[in-house]
Structure 1
Amino acid sequence: MATIVKTPAGTWKAVVRKTGWPTNAKTFRTKRDAEDWARRTEDEMVRGVYIQRSGSERMTLEKALERYLSEVTPSKKPTTRKAEATKAKQLIQHLGKYSMAALSAEVIAKYRDTRLGTQSKRGLPTSNNTVRLELALLSHLFTVAIQEWGLGLTFNPVLNIRKPSPGDGRDRRLSADEEKRLLAAVNNHSNPMLGWIVRIALETGMRSSEITGLRCHQVDLKKRVVRLADTKNDSARTVPLTKLATETFRAALENPVRPKDCNLVFFGEPGKDDKRRPYAFTKTWGLLKKKLGMPDLRFHDLRHEAVSRLVEGGLSDQEVSAISGHKSMQMLKRYTHLRAEDLVGKLDKLERKTTKRSKQQADN
């Protein structure tokens, strides 16, 4: 039965008690609202569908994201942890004061449209992919809240809105002149590790984190392979090395300034805790590419370049994916951009073969 009482503050408190269910109470401004809630709650209890919503009504998105970052995010990779913290800041800035129960599909769709219309710190429009990933974080937050936190949420509102398309992917390729100037600059840098890292990226298509995180025992110069255990998609793979990549690794492993107690192939200076971590070259890379007049060149574009060259060299999609670590052919296509001028030569060869075959058939 429900009990409706007036409080000293002039509001109305509804208390619902029913066998088999915990006592529930809620305060309203009017008596009618209290009666409606009590009637609806009792009806849901009778039908066995009542869900305690007070948790989701009290918890704001800001508090929910703080809990997510402290309980869920730490189990992920360091790069993912950093990225999720950045995405959470944007969500909190725009939606942080909403309760989890108040975050409807309409509210989230408005957030999506607002974000797509804003500019990044670099003055560029916020990309579709950035907003899509922010919504992915919000969606997983709701999934965890529903399945594990018991907040009384019945559905994930992010699933009911349109997501921005991921886009066509970057198609930045290095010209011969750019590559020449880039390699000259990194090879002349005071720290030879920068040049070695760039050359290895171009020769192997390995990611920046995969290269800088390498330990000496992972590089097998005799068999000319690098064994990667910790990759972005959590799948171990073995990367074959070209002759140039092998010699580059040899130079890196024979680095005369490597500390005896450090088995990182590319190592940085000791931190405040006296531990050495992978060589951090992000700032140096940013300054260098601007100096060379290539401000739009990202280090990850070197991976694009390497994968495209593997395809242009005649390797099959399966062979390229085994080297690059792409799990799907669709994803591999986004990273592969063939130069049209290179395809012209192949078309000429194909035409000559076709003409020769036709002539032979005519002679016969």
Structure 2
Amino acid sequence: MATLVKTPSGTWKAVIRKTGWPTTSKTFRTKRDAEDWSRRTEDEMVRGVFIERSSSERMTLEKALNRYLLEVSPTKAPKTAKSEAGSAKTLIARLGKYSLAALSSDIIADYRDARLSEKTRRGTLTSNNSVRLELALLSHLFTVAIQEWRIGLPSNPVSNFRKPSPGQGRDRRLSAEEEHRLLAAVNGHSNPMLGWIVRIALETGMRSSEISGLRRHQVDLDRRIVRLSLTKNGDTRTVPLSLSATALFRQALAHPIRPIDCNLVFFGEPGRDGKRRPYAFTKRWGTLKKTLGLHDLHFHDLRHEAVSRLVEGGLSDQEVSAISGHKSMQMLRRYTHLRAEDLVGRLDRIERVKAQLG
């Protein structure tokens, strides 16, 4: 039976001492609330489902996310950690004052709906993928809190409602005219590294972060391969190089202004601390797109283009996956968009073969 004690401040403290369970107490504004909590808690103890919730009631989402960013995010890829920091900022602004115990599935579902109806600075609605990333972070936070931090929570509230659909994958392809103008512009840039990076992306399908972070020892020109250790999915992979890609890397590694002590393939100017970091080309890429009128072209679209060309060249899904690093055939197919006119040409060749055999 619970013991109810009125405190000097006028509140009511309920204390439960039950064999086999740690002593549990909680303070309430009214005696009725204390009695209701006591009955519920003793009932949960009898049924063997009681969870000590005081830790989850004290910890706010803001405090939990800050701990997550400090302890968990650094174990992930830098790009993922940066993305999580942005998602955490949004979550804290809207839900940060809630305790973990108070964040129900209904509250989080309302957050989902509100986010999907918000407009970005560009005037477009917040993308499904942005909200999915925020919910994924929130879900993993609850998993870590329950399993590793031993925070008293009955379940993960994010697992109990519908998530936004992934949305339609991008199918942006470069036309021959666009590619001609793009390559002419990057090749004519004052820094040749921009041209090398763009052309290597089109030749290999590597991500921008994989290219910019390359060290010289990762590029083997004799065997015509690049060894990647830091990839988006965390796996290492070896990328074969075409003759064109090999020639581009040979030019980059022979860059006459390369400092002797710089191990980066594509390097920037020294920072305030004297250290050189990867060549930062994002701003230059954005300016160049505007100049060419290619506003809807993302750098990642070059990866789409490269992967599609590998498929169009006759490589199997397994061979393309080994080069691109896609873990599932489903994801690979989302990134592979064949031109209908190229498929028409293949159909015509099949018809010609049938006619010759017939």
Matched with 1:76 is 76
Matched with 1:63 is 63
SS at match of 1:14: strand
Q: Distance in 1 between matches of 2:15 and 2:336?
A: 63
Q: Distance in 2 between matches of 1:217 and 1:151?
A: 45
Query: Equivalent residues in 2 for 1:198-213 (5 A)?
Result: 198-213=198-213
Matched with 1:169 is 169
Amino acid at match of 1:311: V
Q: TM-score scaled by structure 1?
A: 0.95
SS at match of 2:26: strand
Q: Distance in 1 between matches of 2:303 and 2:252?
A: 20
Give the share of equivalent positions with the same residue, in percent: 77
SS at match of 2:122: coil
Please list the CA deviations of residues 86-129 of structure 1 after superposition, one character each: whole Å capped at 9, or x if unmatched. Answer: 00011111111111111111111111111111122322211111
Amino acid at match of 2:195: G
Matched with 1:28 is 28
SS at match of 2:148: helix
Matched with 1:42 is 42
* Residue 317 (structure 1) aligned with residue 317 (structure 2): yes
How much does 1:280 deviate? 0.8
How much does 1:314 deviate? 1.0
Q: Is the 8 A contact 2:77 2:230 kept in 1?
A: no
- Point out where structure 1 has 5 or more consecutive residues left out of the alignment: 359-364
Please list the CA deviations of residues 291-322 of structure 1 after superposition, one character each: whole Å capped at 9, or x if unmatched. Answer: 11011111100000000011111111111111
How much does 1:341 deviate? 1.0
Q: Distance in 2 between matches of 1:342 and 1:139?
A: 43
SS at match of 1:149: coil
Q: Distance in 2 between matches of 1:36 and 1:149?
A: 29
Matched with 2:328 is 328
Q: TM-score scaled by structure 2?
A: 0.97
Please list the CA deviations of residues 231-288 of structure 1 after superposition, one character each: whole Å capped at 9, or x if unmatched. Answer: 1122222211111111111110000000000111001111122111111111111111
Q: Distance in 2 between matches of 1:166 and 1:252?
A: 38
Q: Is the 8 A contact 2:77 2:234 kept in 1?
A: no
Q: Distance in 1 between matches of 2:68 and 2:287?
A: 35
How much does 1:8 deviate? 2.7
Matched with 2:270 is 270
For this pair of structures, how many residues does the alignment match? 358
Q: Distance in 1 between matches of 2:53 and 2:161?
A: 23
**Between 13-22 and 237-246, the greater mean CA deviation after superposition:** 13-22
How much does 1:186 deviate? 0.7
Amino acid at match of 1:357: L
- Point out where structure 2 has 5 or more consecutive residues left out of the alignment: none
**Between 180-189 and 121-130, the greater mean CA deviation after superposition:** 121-130
SS at match of 1:13: strand
Q: Distance in 2 between matches of 1:4 and 1:222?
A: 80
RMSD after superposition: 1.2
Please list the CA deviations of residues 154-174 of structure 1 after superposition, one character each: whole Å capped at 9, or x if unmatched. Answer: 101111110111112110111
Matched with 1:348 is 348
Matched with 1:102 is 102
Matched with 2:115 is 115
Q: Distance in 1 between matches of 2:199 and 2:275?
A: 27
How much does 1:49 deviate? 2.7
* Residue 289 (structure 1) aligned with residue 263 (structure 2): no
Matched with 1:216 is 216
Amino acid at match of 1:107: I
Matched with 2:184 is 184
